[in-house]
């Protein structure tokens, strides 16, 4: 089938929950994708930070093929060897002592909310249940995680929402301190806000956050679903700030495209969960766990985080040059290869025009161009992406100039008409 045929069938049979672009991507290799019409694209979105190793990385493909030919699935009523291996790698390379596996970032955050509340009730009493989250955050689409997501646009029409969440501006320590109540048990925060617009807080915020949590006996939960696993140039984004959570959530890049999430915690906190308290039928099954073991091997041993830092500096330099040239880019920001250009206008048309020219990016928060390329990109890839982006931005300038000229021409014609009309109106005396 071609793009048009797939789109037509999709509109007929698939629920309308996405504003999908009118192509179907059917093949990938490295940082490249191809659609059903055979057209090639440079991927600077990586499946929303999922394909951090690029598409069809040979080590991940090999792991999936071998595991698929051996054992696809058994339940978590039994020990699963690849899952145990993955847990060991995650623990040995993080603050955590134990891991729970699930299928997505939303499930990982749902599990984190449950774990925090259960730990708090067992440790501090039944009145400890409240979790503080940040404005412009994004934590998932379940009822609990969409409530934790402090953005009304995601919550609309799902009321009544679960109780027990309070919101403060991201990076505002004073507001955070004021929000702490006798019922507060945890603070849930993204080290870099992704869906909210690639927002960063000052380093002092993170130090103050850790002090507030310690002083008030609160659990720190870091949502690293999008910003974790090498995306920022370190394995975990919180490592940039010198703070350590009690609970951390991962997903997206963890299994290289296979659906997987993880909830990590210190022993003290993890022990609040006992058999029967939480579960996931597919969580960490042999197939996805084997893929994730391969992903972690590549991340830790193939120099991807060094490449991420190098390419991030190179890419951001180009974007700042574009910002100087195009004033409607109001800010360039990011950490590692989690990068954004904020605009003074909506960005959807720019995304669509980039796609038409073979570059895949996206727009979040309405006016923020977001770039999440695979960590394997090189300077030639960056140069190609920047060339396409600059061509599209130049067309925006041309369109602005044409619109301004059209408005000026209309105003000039209106003034001419008004002047001509004025000559026809008597200027003095009365009619006889």
205 marked as part of a ligand binding site: no
DSSP reduced 3-state for 226: coil
Q: Which of 396, 385, 395, 390 has its CA nearest to residue 41?
A: 385
226 annotated as belonging to a binding site for a ligand:
yes
Known binding residue 280? Answer is yes
Is residue 273 flagged as an active site residue? Answer: no
**Helix 81-92 vs helix 286-301: crossing angle, to nearest 10:** 30
Residue corresponding to tokens 């003034």: 415
3-state DSSP helix/strand/coil percent for the chain, to nearest 5? Answer: 45, 20, 40
CA distances (Å), origin 213, targets 61, 132, 262? 42, 11, 23
Question: C-alpha distances in angstroms, 207 versus 30, 230, 232?
Answer: 38, 22, 19
Tracing tokens 């895949």 back to the chain, one arrives at: 360
- Name the catalytic one among 43, 223, 234, 315: 223
Please compute, for residue 226, the number of CA atoms within 13 A of its CA located in the half-sphere on the CB side: 30
**Phi and psi, residue 142, nearest 5°:** -70, 170
Catalytic pick among 252, 273, 371, 381 = 252
Residue 207 near residue 242 (C-beta atoms within 8 A)? yes
Confirm whether 379 is a catalytic residue: no
Q: Is 207 annotated as a binding residue?
A: no
β-pair type (338-343, 165-168):
unpaired
Q: Is 106 annotated as a binding residue?
A: yes
Contact (CB, 8 A) for 244 and 95: yes
Cβ atoms within 10 Å, residue 171 = 21
The Cα–Cα gap between 189 and 225 comes to 11
Does the annotation place 138 within a ligand binding site?
yes
Query: What's 387's DSSP letter?
Result: H
Whether 221 contacts 211, CB under 8 Å: no
Query: Are 141 and 294 spatial neighbours (Cβ–Cβ below 8 Å)?
Result: no
The reply, when asked if residue 94 is annotated as ligand binding, is: no
Distance between first and last Cα of the chain: 81
> Active site residue: 44, 101, 138, 236, which one?
138
- Judge whether 66 is annotated as a binding position: no
421 annotated as a binding-site residue: no
Assigned token pair, 374: 């695979």
Q: Is the Cβ–Cβ distance between 385 and 369 less than 8 Å?
A: no
Q: Is 225 annotated as a binding residue?
A: yes
* Rounded Cα–Cα distance for residues 246 and 265 (Å): 6
252 carries an active-site annotation: yes
Active site residues: 138, 223, 252
From the annotation, which residues make up the binding site?
105-106, 138, 141, 223-226, 280-281
From the annotation, which residues make up the binding site for N(2)-acetyl-L-ornithine?
141, 280
From the annotation, which residues make up the binding site for pyridoxal 5'-phosphate?
105-106, 138, 223-226, 281
């Amino acid at each position: 089938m071609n793009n048009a045929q797939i789109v037509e069938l999709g509109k007929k049979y698939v629920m309308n929950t996405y504003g999908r672009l009118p192509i179907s991507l059917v093949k990938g290799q490295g940082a490249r994708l191809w659609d059903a019409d055979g057209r090639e694209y440079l991927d600077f979105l990586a499946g929303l930070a999922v394909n951090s190793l690029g598409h069809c990385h040979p080590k991940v493909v090999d792991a999936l093929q071998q595991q698929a030919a051996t054992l696809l699935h058994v339940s978590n009523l039994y020990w699963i060897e690849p899952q145990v291996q993955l847990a060991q790698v995650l623990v040995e390379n993080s603050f955590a002592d134990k891991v729970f596996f699930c299928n997505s970032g939303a499930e990982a955050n749902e599990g984190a909310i449950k774990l925090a509340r259960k730990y708090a009730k067992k440790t501090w009493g039944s009145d400890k249940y409240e979790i503080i989250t940040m404005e412009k955050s994004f934590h998932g689409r379940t009822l609990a995680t969409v409530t934790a997501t402090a953005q009304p646009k995601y919550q609309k029409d799902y009321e009544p929402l679960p109780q027990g969440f309070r919101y403060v501006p991201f990076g505002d320590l004073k507001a955070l301190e004021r929000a702490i109540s006798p019922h507060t048990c945890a603070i849930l925060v993204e080290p870099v806000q992704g869906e909210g617009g690639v927002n960063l807080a000052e380093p002092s915020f993170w130090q103050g956050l850790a002090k507030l949590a310690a002083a008030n006996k609160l659990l720190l939960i870091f949502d690293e679903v999008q910003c974790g696993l090498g995306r920022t140039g370190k394995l975990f984004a919180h490592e940039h700030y010198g703070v350590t959570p009690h609970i951390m959530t991962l997903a997206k890049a963890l299994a290289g495209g296979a659906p997987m999430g993880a909830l990590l915690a210190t022993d003290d906190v993890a022990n609040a969960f006992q058999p029967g308290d939480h579960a996931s039928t597919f969580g960490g099954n042999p197939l996805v766990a084997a893929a994730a073991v391969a992903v972690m091997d590549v991340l830790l041993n193939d120099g991807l985080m060094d490449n991420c830092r190098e390419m991030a500096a190179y890419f951001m330099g180009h974007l700042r040059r574009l910002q100087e040239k195009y004033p409607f880019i109001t800010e360039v920001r990011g950490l590692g290869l989690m990068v954004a250009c904020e605009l003074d206008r909506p960005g959807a048309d720019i995304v669509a025009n980039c796609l038409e020219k073979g570059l895949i990016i996206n727009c979040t928060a309405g006016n923020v161009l977001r770039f999440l390329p695979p960590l394997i990109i090189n300077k030639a890839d960056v140069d190609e992406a920047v060339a396409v982006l600059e061509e599209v931005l130049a067309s925006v300038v041309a369109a602005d100039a044409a619109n301004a000229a059209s408005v000026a021409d209309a105003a000039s014609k209106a003034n001419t008409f008004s002047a001509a009309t004025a000559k026809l109106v008597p200027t003095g005396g009365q009619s006889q």
